[in-house]
């Protein structure tokens, strides 16, 4: 194929791929233009998740009528004129590519009136071609309508996610800019319904209540600027809010960082926030933080990435230390935890992580010492007629003396040479004539056995059950085992539509962030099928009326928050549907916890049900349930071979 120069239309559509990835990308570029124009009120209207219509209007200073056609040309900008201006930027935009790229893949209408003019002008562009330019009456400011996004590049539309996902990206983006600019009034409407608004009062706390929800904000503390530690460092101000150690999340997605009003993705600064909570948060848990970082424009390079989401600092150590110090001081002052000192110097020094290749690589910098996975023996076909296991209960029986020791029947059937002593406080079991016969009143097992008969020996660390089998010893994680049992039971009931629900007596209201509220509306039909009854109680406020019976002793609002966090965090490996993801989380919340002391009867009941599970070796999240030590391994360890 001969070398040729691409047409301007094709080149523009290709270049648009770097700037316009999805509807939220369009909203981002247009919001930045409005903010650079000095707008104090910005209205965003979205229809069809943004692929049908994006309409943004502002009260900024507007565009002069004679410059409107020029504003849609590539590399046309009023932000910079020479290269050195890049190192003294006071605006969000500077490349002059956004409007040109958006117009090349949509039907764009731009209406604007400059503040010093009495008339406005309107331009119509379709696929990068100007159709009309004419004067119109308009208020001071700019209105941009982007219709039929990607109409001329249908292949790009195939890469868009579901409408719910695209709307969620827009909600998150608008709330982020509202937090970075609390003095600007933002209003977002999705398909005719208000999804988010901020007052524009200039108070960041007001925005956080709207963006994160009142319940989250109640657990947040203010981060105030601190003086620099050395006179030679550039002036750096870190302000905002962060949560107390009592509230944390499973990922870093709710750590929002803004540098000079620009939202950035900086792994090292995110790590600085996490490190500020060192020893204050559980492992793999992260705070909710909104931090506004002000640095001299000449000390930051914003011309790093096409989306302007990444920046470089002239003094990264100073920025890291300022963020870490500011957050640490605020948290310690609120919790009353003593700071750690080495001699006379406080532990607030730069300790950046190495250059990681991805965000997931930045953790607590603890060495990975996980043991190698155990090799489980091949499944054995044990054909014993044993009592059908009853449902395991988290609650201990009121009187253990009234319980039949079914585990004694099974253990005697398999281990006739053992003489298991009967506790004097328990009623001795009746020994049947046939050790393998099913006790009277109990039907045949509904599920085949997937494990050999196990006899409970005891419990270690209130977390692991020690059991004996025909070919050795088994150590069983009680939480993982119960999680697997509940998952298979719940899944079976869910598929048969035979779930039992429990009404919530104290159904107080719960306030959600706009993103969480939108996500809840998306998954509410699925939650209803699983036994959750949730009703609207105001703007982004809900009441939980009923929950699945297995969650009767859990805080329903806390369970709801966790379900939404898991649904928002993305796909879990091995999970095909949102239903399965919710099932796993519900069972995890309801399962018996590590550290809970169980009676012998409770442990044996748990083992009985595990023996009938379809997959008794791993929990629904893939962690191992048991470790098996064969008799030969034990003999070898004790030098008997």
Which of 49-58, 478-487, 492-501 is least confident? 492-501
**Selection from 386, 371, 607, 396 nearest residue 482 by Cα:** 607
Assess whether pLDDT exceeds 90 at residue 108. yes
For residues 14 and 138, membership in a common domain is answered with yes
- Segment 387-416 shows an average pLDDT of 38
Residue 208 lies in a domain: no
Domain that holds residue 158: 8-202
Task: State the CATH number of the domain containing residue 128.
Answer: 3.30.565.10
Assess whether pLDDT exceeds 60 at residue 526. yes
**Selection from 262, 267, 270 nearest residue 303 by Cα:** 262
For residues 532 and 429, membership in a common domain is answered with yes
Find residue 624's DSSP bridge partners. Answer: 618
Got the DSSP string for 171-237? Answer: HHHHHHHHHH-TTSEEEEEETTEEEEE----S-HHHHHHHHH-HHHHTTEEEE-----SSTTSPP-E
For residues 312 and 460, membership in a common domain is answered with no
Residue 282 and residue 278: Cα distance in Å, rounded? Answer: 9
Q: Mark which of 202, 234, 257 sits at the end of a domain.
A: 202
pLDDT at 569: 60
Residue 27 and residue 174: Cα distance in Å, rounded? Answer: 8
Residue 523 and residue 565: Cα distance in Å, rounded? Answer: 12
Using DSSP, state whether 128 is helix, strand or coil. Answer: coil
Dihedral in degrees, nearest 10, Cα atoms 322, 326, 332, 333: 140
For residues 347 and 427, membership in a common domain is answered with no
pLDDT at 250: 83
For residues 581 and 555, membership in a common domain is answered with yes
Task: State the CATH number of the domain containing residue 322.
Answer: 3.30.230.10
pLDDT band at 18 (very low <50, low <70, confident <90, very high): low
438 Cβ contact list (under 8 Å, min separation 6): 385, 386, 387, 444
For residues 538 and 402, membership in a common domain is answered with yes
If one compares 482 and 429, the residue with the highest pLDDT of the two is 482
**Selection from 493, 503, 486 nearest residue 549 by Cα:** 503
pLDDT at 425: 40
Contact 114, 65 (CB under 8 A): yes
Residue 366 lies in a domain: no
Report the predicted TM-score, pTM, of the whole model to 2 decimal places.
Answer: 0.67
pLDDT at 372: 40
Residue 490 lies in a domain: yes
pLDDT band at 384 (very low <50, low <70, confident <90, very high): very low
Assess whether pLDDT exceeds 50 at residue 347. no
Contact 365, 353 (CB under 8 A): yes
Residue 372 lies in a domain: no
Residue 360 lies in a domain: no
Assess whether pLDDT exceeds 50 at residue 280. yes
Q: Mark which of 290, 319, 354 sits at the end of a domain.
A: 354
Residue 194 lies in a domain: yes
Q: Mark which of 202, 235, 270 sits at the end of a domain.
A: 202
What are the tens digits of pLDDT across the range 50-96? 999 999 999 999 999 999 998 888 776 766 655 655 666 667 866 66
Residue 371 lies in a domain: no
Using DSSP, state whether 293 is helix, strand or coil. Answer: strand
CA-CA distances (angstroms) from residue 10 to 18, 123, 306, 407, 518? Answer: 14, 22, 19, 74, 37
pLDDT band at 45 (very low <50, low <70, confident <90, very high): very high
Residue 622 lies in a domain: yes
pLDDT at 398: 38
Which of 387-391, 500-504, 611-615 is least confident? 387-391
Dihedral in degrees, nearest 10, Cα atoms 574, 578, 579, 584: 50
If one compares 471 and 40, the residue with the highest pLDDT of the two is 40
For residues 222 and 337, membership in a common domain is answered with yes
Find residue 109's DSSP bridge partners. Answer: 124, 145
Q: What is the mean pLDDT of the chain?
A: 78
Place of tokens 């509306």: 521
Residue 444 and residue 386: Cα distance in Å, rounded? Answer: 7
Neighbours of 322 (CB within 10 A): 28
Find residue 511's DSSP bridge partners. Answer: 541
For residues 300 and 194, membership in a common domain is answered with no
Tell me the percentage of the chain whose pLDDT exceeds 70.
74
Task: State the CATH number of the domain containing residue 462.
Answer: 3.30.1540.20
What are the tens digits of pLDDT across the range 160-204? 888 888 999 999 999 999 999 999 999 999 999 999 999 999 999
pLDDT at 207: 95
Number of domains observed in the structure of the chain = 3
For residues 148 and 193, membership in a common domain is answered with yes
For residues 280 and 342, membership in a common domain is answered with yes
For residues 224 and 174, membership in a common domain is answered with no
Residue 250 and residue 566: Cα distance in Å, rounded? Answer: 8
For residues 319 and 181, membership in a common domain is answered with no
pLDDT band at 138 (very low <50, low <70, confident <90, very high): very high
Assess whether pLDDT exceeds 90 at residue 97. no
């Amino acid at each position: 194929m001969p070398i040729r120069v691409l047409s301007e239309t094709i080149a523009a559509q290709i270049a648009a791929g770097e700037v316009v990835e999805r509807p939220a990308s369009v909203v981002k570029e247009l919001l930045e233009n409005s903010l650079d124009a000095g707008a104090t009120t910005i209205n965003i209207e979205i229809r069809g998740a943004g692929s049908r219509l994006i309409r943004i209007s502002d009260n900024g200073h507007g565009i002069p009528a004679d410059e409107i056609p020029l504003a849609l040309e590539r590399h046309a900008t009023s932000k910079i004129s020479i290269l050195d201006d890049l190192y003294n930027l006071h605006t969000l935009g500077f490349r002059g590519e956004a409007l040109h790229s958006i117009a090349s893949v949509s039907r764009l209408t731009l209406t604007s009136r400059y503040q010093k003019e009495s008339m406005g002008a309107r331009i119509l562009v379709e696929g990068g071609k100007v159709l009309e330019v004419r004067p119109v009456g308009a208020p001071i400011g700019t209105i941009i309508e982007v219709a039929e996004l990607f109409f001329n590049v249908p292949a790009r539309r195939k890469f868009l996610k579901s409408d719910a996902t695209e709307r969620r990206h827009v909600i998150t983006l608008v709330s982020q800019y509202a937090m970075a600019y609390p003095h600007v009034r933002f209003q977002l409407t999705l398909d005719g319904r208000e999804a988010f608004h901020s007052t524009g009062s200039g108070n960041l706390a007001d925005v956080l209540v709207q963006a994160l929800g009142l319940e989250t904000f109640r657990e947040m503390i203010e981060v105030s600027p601190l003086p620099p530690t050395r006179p030679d460092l550039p002036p750096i101000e870190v302000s905002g809010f962060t949560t107390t150690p009592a509230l944390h999340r499973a990922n870093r997605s709710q750590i929002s960082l803004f540098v000079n009003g620009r939202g950035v993705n900086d792994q090292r600064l995110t790590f600085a926030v996490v490190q500020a909570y060192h020893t204050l948060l559980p492992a793999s848990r992260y705070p909710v933080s909104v931090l506004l970082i002000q640095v001299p424009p000449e000390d930051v390079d914003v011309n790093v990435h096409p989306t302007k989401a990444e920046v470089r600092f002239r003094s990264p150590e100073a920025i890291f230390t300022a963020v870490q110090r500011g957050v640490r001081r605020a948290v310690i002052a609120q919790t009353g935890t003593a700071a750690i000192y080495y001699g006379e110097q406080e532990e607030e020094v730069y300790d950046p992580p190495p250059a990681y290749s991805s965000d997931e690589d930045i953790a607590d910098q603890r060495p990975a010492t996980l043991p190698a996975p155990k090799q489980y023996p091949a499944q054995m076909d044990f054909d014993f007629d044993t009592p059908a296991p009853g449902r395991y209960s988290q609650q201990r029986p009121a009187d253990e003396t009234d319980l039949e020791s079914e585990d004694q029947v099974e253990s005697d059937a398999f281990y006739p040479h053992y003489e298991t002593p009967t506790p004097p406080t328990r009623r001795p079991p009746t020994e049947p004539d046939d050790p393998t016969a099913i006790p009277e009143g109990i039907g045949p097992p509904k599920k085949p056995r997937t494990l050999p008969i196990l006899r409970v020996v005891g419990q270690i660390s209130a977390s692991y059950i020690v059991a004996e089998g025909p070919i050795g010893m088994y150590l069983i994680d009680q939480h993982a085992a119960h999680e697997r049992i509940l998952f298979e039971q719940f899944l079976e009931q869910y598929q048969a539509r035979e779930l039992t629900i429990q009404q919530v007596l104290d159904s107080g209201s719960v306030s959600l962030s706009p993103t969480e509220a939108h996500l809840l509306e998306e998954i509410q039909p699925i939650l209803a099928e699983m036994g959750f009854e949730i009703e609207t109680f105001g703007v982004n406020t809900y009441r939980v009326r009923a929950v699945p019976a297995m969650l009767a002793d859990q805080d329903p609002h806390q369970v709801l928050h966790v379900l939404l966090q898991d649904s928002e965090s993305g796909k879990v490996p091995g999970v095909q549907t949102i239903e399965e993801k919710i099932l796993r989380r519900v069972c995890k919340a309801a399962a018996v916890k590590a550290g809970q002391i169980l009676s012998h009867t409770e442990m044996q009941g748990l083992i009985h049900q595990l023996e009938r599970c379809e997959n008794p070796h791993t929990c629904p999240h893939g962690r191992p349930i048991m470790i098996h030590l064969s008799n030969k391994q034990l003999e070898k360890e004790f030098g008997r071979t």
